[in-house]
Amino acid sequence: MYQRSQQIQTLTHNEISKGVATEVFGGSGSRFLLLVGLIVVLSFIAPNFLSLNNFINVFRQASLLLIMSIGMTLVILTGRGGIDLSIGSVLALSSCMAASALKAGLPVTVSIIIGLSIGALCGLVNGALVTMVGLPAFIATFGMMQIARGAVLLYMKGAIIYGFSPAFRFIGAGHLFGLPMPVIVAGVLFAVFTFVLYRTPFGKEVYAIGANRIAAELSGVRVNRVLLTVYTISGAMAACAGLVYISRLNAAESVIGQLFELQAIAATVIGGTSFRGGEGGLIGTIAGALIITFLNNGMNLLGISSLWQLFVLGSVIVSGVTFDMYFWHRSR
Amino acid sequence: MGDGPLLKMVGITKEFPGVKALKGVDFELRAGEVHVLVGENGAGKSTLMKILSGVYRPDSGRILINGKEVQITSPRKAQESGIATIYQEFNLIPYLSIVQNIFLGRELMTNTAIPRMNYREMRVKAKELLDSLGIQISPDTLVKDLSMAQRQMIEVAKALSLEARILIMDEPTSALTSREIEHLFDIVRALKASGMGIIYISHRLEEIERIGDRVTVLRDGEVIGTKDVSGLSTEELITMMVGREIGDLFPRERVSKGEVALKVEHLSRRNVVKDVSLEVHYGEIVGLAGLVGSGRTELARLIFGADRFDHGEIVISGRRVKGDHNPSASVRSGLSFLPEDRKEQGLCLSLSVANNVILASLRRLFPHRITSPRREMNVTLDYVRKLRIAIPSPFRAVKSLSGGNQQKVVLAKWLCTQSKVFIFDEPTRGIDVAAKAEIHGLMNELAEQGAAILMISSELPEILGMSDRIYVMHEGRIVKEFTRDEATQEEILRYAMGGVGGAA
Amino acid sequence: MRREPNVSRVPVSVRRVPGTFYILIIMISLASITIPGFGTVSNLLNILLQGSFLAIVACGATLAIISSGIDLSVGTVLSLSGVVTGLALHAGIPIALAILSGVLTGLICGIITGSLVAFVGLEPFIATFGMMSMAQGLGLVLSNGASIPGFQESFRWFGEGVVWKVPVPLIIALVIVACIWWLLRHTRLGLYIYAIGGSEEVAGWSGIEVGRCKLALYSISGCLAGIAGVLLAARMNSGHPTVGVGWEMDAIASVVIGGTPLTGGRGGVIGTMVGVAIVSVLRNILNMLRLSSPWQITLIGAIVVIAIGLDILLRRWRLALEG
Amino acid sequence: SILAGKQYEIAFIVKSLTNPFWIDMKAGAESAAKDLNVKLQTMAPVKADNVEEQIRMIEDLIQRKIDAIVLAPADTKGIIPGIEKANQAGVPVVIVNTKAAGGKIVSFVGAENFDAATMIAERVVEKLNGKGKVVILEGVPAAQTAIDRKNGFLSVLKKYSGIEILASQTANFQRAEGMMVMENLLQRFPHIDAVLCANDEMALGALEAIDAAGRLKEMIVTGFDANRDAVVAVRDGRLFLTCDQNSAAQGSEGVRAAVRYLNGESVPARIVTKVILVDKTNVDSYLKKYGIK
Ligand SMILES: Nc1ncnc2c1ncn2[C@@H]1O[C@H](COP(=O)(O)OP(=O)(O)OP(=O)(O)O)[C@@H](O)[C@H]1O
Ligand SMILES: Nc1ncnc2c1ncn2[C@@H]1O[C@H](COP(=O)(O)OP(=O)(O)OP(=O)(O)O)[C@@H](O)[C@H]1O
Ligand SMILES: [Mg+2]
Ligand SMILES: [Mg+2]
């Protein structure tokens, strides 16, 4: 037990690692237990659930959600109603533009860059509306959600771009070291942004802004710049998810990505990131995204009727998190 | 007054994860007395009081009021048991008006068929209350529009409106200047005479003998002793609190002053700051005195770039600041500003101590844009030791620290920037005597190393003890400049109250 | 950044008309000049009728948001209670009881989310997200995925009837809005909702029973969604399990457009009504212009952003002038 | 039109404008409108398949004093109050594609989704020789076409004892979801003989999943709507068949019916558009129609 008399003098390497680990895992570590619990239950009741193939399958399906949730987590971490409703539409817009660039015969890399830049640009506009105009994030990104969706509908006129070159298809449907590409893309992005969040000044500033925007500003943090960056990242992540998505689907259409924002928000929040800002983080988001995906997978495997699926999804999420709150957070 | 004690707390213990905040504390309060509770930062004073006011449940121990055991399970229960509390950290809701805040939880209702809130009556009562406290603000003002000191007075008003038998005051004067303190003390005396029992927590030891009847000293969650105030010397008290003697509280030494570090000319903003000119040299500590609302905080914010000014000019370290003056530019040009309101403006409460300490120095500490936990910890621990911040680990969230330790974290954040020019707004607010001496020592050191310091303080002894020069503000203007030797408490007050020259 | 001392008689939290009100006026005047048929009494009644349902639902959303929570379940709870009412009517239950069953369905959903938020301590987002899925799922299961059509005239009156030319849903909506306004302005619960939104901790310290207030407000929100669901079923002469899809977004958007920030603690129902009016008028105008849905989608986004952006910029400008 | 001395204004309300099926129908309607010199506006709910929004559109259009409405109801029964409103205002309504269960209408133009679905299912059963394991991908729950098509499938499949329905799950009419759900089902079932999808989009998504799992040879997949990509898939032998409801004809016939009515001519109460199953044998004409070589 700590006593005043034993003022801390130094920390050993171990103590630092432990401290960093608790900081990174934060309150969301227990959500992993929830995930594990879900997996255990499903492996008992769902046929063919417990197989390497199925797990790879689930990870592949979760990767899109994970990529989008990276951006969403950063945005929600900045607090004060920070939210990005536009990612579904931005995903559709940027991937359709990339697809039409591909169809127009542009090289794969150029098309990818086009897609990513459009996503980033949409994000930047969101950020500018939030910081410079001072719109609530909800309104700014709600507007972007509508505008980007409308734009892609008008641009595509309901048509579908179908059939991409093998080079482009590799991103979504290829394999590397026996792993599906989407999983690798999501893994790499995740690793990069976890590093950014926990080991760079930028990451610390994101947390500080979320925890107390005024204090952060008075500490010399360039709040607007950080927010701009965060929203831009969110847009770019949406575009990135979109590219993987259309590559996997081998088609691009204007309606993709509807309600993705809600899923990404759900993954983030179920992963323990709070709308209060400055609480939670990327690690929990993985758990959140996997929980949602495993649930859907399990319900398909169990052959639960379409009508019941939504009900099961909702009740499992609520009861799972309730359980978590009771047996984990309460006991502390 | 009454025979038995009004309140008895027996064997109270409370443990937070990793910290034993209270270890079997006994405490007693009589009707009609002011019982002062003192102790170092983190000794457990606020925790004890929060147990009494129902915010925390004790792990063990009993509470008796008038000899009857009571279970205080919620703040509501505490109110019903006749306990009113002025919390150390503010207990007001920014977007509600003063009236709404004062009566929150106990609104007066009309006796019409469909009862509704009787704002008319509440407003009248609130006005009376505010008048009796000498506060001239409309009761419909939103709390967010008040200054720290005004909020503190509203806290007092809120607690008084409860008409309780037991009043807890956790550092009620930490943001007040002498005039308000006088006023408050008058009220406390009146309450005391009416038979109320008052528990009074403060780090301003001179207040103890002026208002206290008995004093209990807490250290590391244990009661060191309870004494009558009369006949107790300050030295004795300090030894009880700290377990050792402390150095000079105001160790200011003269150093030769250098170039002009900060120069402000004809600075104005709206009606709050009017045509202010001042300068601070390297190696100099300049005090800024004034009454509540005299515009000192606003002036500091203008200089730092937190608010925009209408006219005038500011020169920091020889460079004139331009229109794009903002906090981040100020920080980068080596100006530090410690705000008076640590909770709202100073700290990221949910983040760790380490993250708060390094927040303003990220660019300096990690020029390659990659942080290193080891470096963070070393830097943080450096200041934790220097300022004697009582924490079990630098990973601990700041919100779990005691008020004084939180204040030290804010200080650490700014010391960590290694700036050359500092503006400290109430730097020792809520800090215990021992630590205060150390912080003063640190400020001295800074000045010796050539830093320029502009210090706003509502504690005149601090201003007098630490400053080389003193500016006095009244209603947004600087009305007087004193050198260290000219200044006396009376003179400063006279100018601060507008008694000379200014429009009184 | 801070503090213009504010001197006024009425508690400020509920008083202000949001700046978007003027935007609404501008929108309406422009439309009446340029679109034939827009400025007629019958069209205005038409808009008001269409907006009534959203208005009811948005009242609940306002309460949740002022308390710095959120209620995502209003849309699907609305669908669910429509389905329940439909089933009840088809089962031959008397109209009053059928209506009651629909409203009760909403109330129960609200009580469940409320308890999860208040006593389990779930984030409102998670609790109401879960309820959103559950209510949708339950609606689909109960209705077997198809709409439940054909009710008796006396029930349909609640959706279609008029009293002195005023549509019944509009009257009900006005009564509800007035009640919620009263609740926020004149009752303890209302004040406490603001207080909880301002600072939950402080509200607790002041002796407010935060949990009970939250339970109450989510119950009210659920109950209102139930009422809207019943009325909508009456209007459509069918209970439809997916009719409320996306209403939560419209409701939240109306609240935010009306000047209640998602961070809670201030704002009010009058503002929300301005938001509802903007959304409804905008839809009506776009339909009248017979724009195809992609254009509608785009313009809704653009106009909302421009309108609120303008409001903010104008306010900033005015502040600078006054200074 | 010319007779009446003024140009008719007609609104065409469909269920959504984000799907090739409706885009085709819109094109058909627009070409008819051009022939007849009618001012036509095509509209769709912002939230696809939302019947309540369709009702609001009708109300708003009545205020605008439109001449006639051609309408594809998102819900057979839910749309009735909207039609009744139009009836009261004296605005004639022509229904296309999906039936309306009430209200006075000029005519219904369309095929029967239910019947088309039975035709598909019959062909599948025939191909499987009455024996096999079948998966159904349903459309948006509670959408009328989704219900009709699913019931059509079931009405046939249930008749054969050799047919086992492994699963019937929704993929919301969307390609991506079709892929995702199919991926999961492929994990679950080691052998599947046929996948019946309630539209082409889901079928194409499912095909991607099946292809990726290397199980294309094992099963047949059917779609619905004969959109461009599906036709290509039929050509390539990936998709077993799809069906053409001739959506463009539904659109144009709908508009023609409305104009004839406005001109005071008589209009039959039921105009049936033919359903054609598209498979290897007749795919060429569709390839030509879409201009695919
Ligand atoms: N919510 C909490 N969680 C964890 N630890 C806490 C919490 N509240 C207080 N503590 C710890 O309990 C101890 C006593 O704190 P307390 O606030 O009572 O001190 P104090 O005597 O009021 O100090 P100060 O004079 O600085 O206000 C401190 O070590 C503090 O860190
Ligand atoms: N938060 C606020 N909102 C509105 N007005 C304020 C606020 N704070 C201060 N004021 C007003 O601005 C003027 C200057 O206040 P300022 O805070 O700068 O004074 P101060 O000398 O620092 O006093 P204090 O001891 O109250 O901090 C006063 O008229 C005061 O009433
Ligand atoms: Mg304390
Ligand atoms: Mg001040």
Q: Which residue segments constitute the domains of chain B, with CATH numbers given?
A: 1-61+71-82+164-245 (3.40.50.300), 89-163 (no CATH), 283-308+324-496 (3.40.50.300)
Tell me which H or E stretch contains A165: none
Which pLDDT tens digit goes with each residue over A144-166? Answer: 999 999 999 889 887 788 888 89
Q: What is the mean pLDDT of residues D272-286?
A: 87
Which pLDDT tens digit goes with each residue over B156-206? Answer: 888 888 888 999 999 888 878 777 888 888 888 988 898 899 999 988 888
Which residue in C83, C238, C304 has the most chain D C-beta atoms within 10 A of its own C-beta, making it the best mutation to test that interface? C238
pLDDT given at position C16: 58
Share the mean pLDDT of chain B: 87
Closest partner residue to D18 (CB to CB) among A57, A255, A297 is: A255
D76/C245 CB distance under 8 A: no
Is A96 part of the contact surface with chain C (CB cutoff 8 Å)? no
The DSSP output letter for B232 is -
Share the mean pLDDT of chain A: 87
Which pLDDT tens digit goes with each residue over B295-334? Answer: 899 999 999 999 888 888 899 888 888 766 889 989 988 8
Any atom of ligand 2 within 6 Å of the Cβ of C323: no
Q: Residue B87 pLDDT > 90, yes or no?
A: no
Structural tokens at position A128: 């500018």
Q: What is the mean pLDDT of residues D203-222?
A: 90
C3/B144 CB distance under 8 A: yes
Measured between alpha carbons, how far is C109 from D228 in angstroms, rounded to an integer? 45
What Cα–Cα distance (Å) separates residue A237 from each residue in A70, A120, A147, A187?
Answer: 7, 8, 18, 13
Which residue in C290, C296, C298 has the most chain D C-beta atoms within 10 A of its own C-beta, making it the best mutation to test that interface? C290
Which pLDDT tens digit goes with each residue over B198-221? Answer: 999 988 888 888 889 999 999 888
C36/D51 CB distance under 8 A: no
Chains in contact with C, counting 3 or more C-beta pairs less than 8 Å apart as contact: A, B, D
What Cα–Cα distance (Å) separates residue B78 from each residue in A323, B53, B84, B205, C288?
Answer: 32, 5, 8, 28, 61
Name the one residue in this structure whose structure tokens are 């909770």: B343
pLDDT given at position A26: 65
Q: What is the mean pLDDT of residues D52-69?
A: 87
D75/C240 CB distance under 8 A: yes
Sequence-distant (≥ 6) Cβ neighbours of residue D20 within 8 angstroms: A158, A159, A160, D225, D227, D228
Our CA-based measurement puts residue C185 at a distance from the nearest CA of chain B, in whole angstroms, of 8
pLDDT band with cut points at 50, 70 and 90 for residue A18: confident
Q: Do the Cβ atoms of C69 and C262 come closer than 8 Å?
A: no
Measured between alpha carbons, how far is D26 from D12 in angstroms, rounded to an integer? 8
The 3-state DSSP composition of chain C as helix, strand, coil percent (nearest 5) reads 75, 0, 25
pLDDT given at position C322: 64
User: What DSSP letter does each residue of B289-348 carry, written as one string?
Assistant: EE-TTSSHHHHHHHHHTSS--SEEEEEETTEE--TT--HHHHHHTTEEEE-S-IIIII--
Share the mean pLDDT of chain D: 87
Q: What is the mean pLDDT of residues B393-413?
A: 89
pLDDT given at position B487: 84
pLDDT given at position A7: 56
Q: What is the mean pLDDT of residues B98-120?
A: 87
Q: What is the mean pLDDT of residues A103-127?
A: 95
- Closest by Cα among B395, B327, B301, B390 to B356: B395
Sequence-distant (≥ 6) Cβ neighbours of residue D95 within 8 angstroms: D71, D72, D73, D105, D107, D108, D109, D110, D254
Q: Residue A9 pLDDT > 80, yes or no?
A: no
Measured between alpha carbons, how far is D222 from D237 in angstroms, rounded to an integer? 11
pLDDT band with cut points at 50, 70 and 90 for residue B3: low
C283/D45 CB distance under 8 A: no
Measured between alpha carbons, how far is B33 from C305 in angstroms, rounded to an integer? 61
Domains of chain A: 2-331 (1.10.3470)
Chains in contact with B, counting 3 or more C-beta pairs less than 8 Å apart as contact: A, C
Our CA-based measurement puts residue D91 at a distance from the nearest CA of chain C, in whole angstroms, of 15
Q: Which range is least confidently modeled, A58-67, A179-188, C238-247?
A: C238-247
Higher pLDDT, B2 or C86: C86
Which pLDDT tens digit goes with each residue over C45-54? Answer: 888 988 999 9
Q: Which range is least confidently modeled, A52-56, A231-235, B262-266, C76-80?
A: A52-56
**Record: fold of C38-318:** ABC transporter involved in vitamin B12 uptake, BtuC (1.10.3470)
pLDDT given at position A332: 40
Q: What is the ipTM of this complex?
A: 0.86
Q: Residue A30 pLDDT > 80, yes or no?
A: no
pLDDT given at position A223: 94
3-state secondary structure of C124: helix
Q: Residue A71 pLDDT > 90, yes or no?
A: yes
Indicate the pairing of strand B469-474 with strand B83-86: unpaired
Q: Residue C231 pLDDT > 90, yes or no?
A: yes
pLDDT given at position B323: 65
Q: What is the mean pLDDT of residues B440-458?
A: 90
Q: Residue D2 pLDDT > 60, yes or no?
A: no
Structural tokens at position B140: 């419909």
Our CA-based measurement puts residue C150 at a distance from the nearest CA of chain A, in whole angstroms, of 23
For the entire predicted model, the pTM comes to 0.88
How many angstroms does the Cα of residue B147 sit away from the middle of ligand 2? Answer: 5
pLDDT given at position C20: 78
Which pLDDT tens digit goes with each residue over D115-135? Answer: 899 999 999 999 999 899 999
Nearest CA in chain A to C308: A135
Which of B9, B12, B15, B46 to probe ligand 1 with, by most ligand atoms within 8 A of CB?
Answer: B46
Residue minimizing CA distance to atom 27 of ligand 1: B403
- Closest by Cα among C119, C79, C109, C55 to C223: C109
Is B259 part of the contact surface with chain C (CB cutoff 8 Å)? no
Measured between alpha carbons, how far is B436 from B249 in angstroms, rounded to an integer? 7
User: Residues of chain A with pLDDT > 70: what percent?
Assistant: 94
Structural tokens at position B268: 């104005």
Q: Residue C4 pLDDT > 50, yes or no?
A: no
- Closest by Cα among A286, A285, A287, A267 to A32: A287
Q: Residue A57 pLDDT > 80, yes or no?
A: yes
Our CA-based measurement puts residue C162 at a distance from the nearest CA of chain A, in whole angstroms, of 35
Domain ranges for chain C, please list them. 38-318
Torsion region of B361: left, alpha or beta (phi above 0 gives left; psi -120 to 50 gives alpha): alpha
Q: Which range is least confidently modeled, A21-30, C151-160, D105-114?
A: A21-30
Looking at ligand 2, which atom is closest to the CA of residue B177? 25
Residue A143: count of CB within 10 angstroms of its CB: 28
Any atom of ligand 2 within 6 Å of the Cβ of C2: yes
Q: Does chain D touch chain B (at least 3 C-beta pairs within 8 Å)? A: no
Set of chain C residues whose Cβ sits within 8 Å of the Cβ of B73: none
Q: Residue C1 pLDDT > 70, yes or no?
A: no
Paired with B488 in beta bridges are none
- Give all strands (DSSP E) within B184-272, no chain letters: 197-201, 214-219, 222-228, 260-269
pLDDT band with cut points at 50, 70 and 90 for residue C7: very low
B310/C323 CB distance under 8 A: yes
Higher pLDDT, A219 or C11: A219
pLDDT band with cut points at 50, 70 and 90 for residue C8: very low
Q: Which range is least confidently modeled, A2-16, A254-268, B131-145, C192-206?
A: A2-16
Q: What is the mean pLDDT of residues D31-48?
A: 87
Q: What is the mean pLDDT of residues D244-259?
A: 90
Tell me the one-letter amino acid at B414. W
Q: Which range is least confidently modeled, A3-12, D7-16, D147-156?
A: A3-12
Which of B12, B16, B22 to probe ligand 1 with, by most ligand atoms within 8 A of CB?
Answer: B16
Convert chain D into a string of H (helix), E (strand) and C (coil). Answer: CCCCCCCCEEEEECCCCCCHHHHHHHHHHHHHHHHHCCEEEEECCCCCCCHHHHHHHHHHHHHCCCCEEEECCCCCCCCHHHHHHHHHHCCCEEEECCCCCCCCCCEEEECCHHHHHHHHHHHHHHHCCCCEEEEEEECCCCCHHHHHHHHHHHHHHCCCCCEEEEEEEECCCCHHHHHHHHHHHHHHCCCCCEEEECCHHHHHHHHHHHHHCCCCCCCEEECCCCCHHHHHHHHCCCCCEEEECCHHHHHHHHHHHHHHHHCCCCCCCEEECCCEEECCCCHHHHHHHCCCC
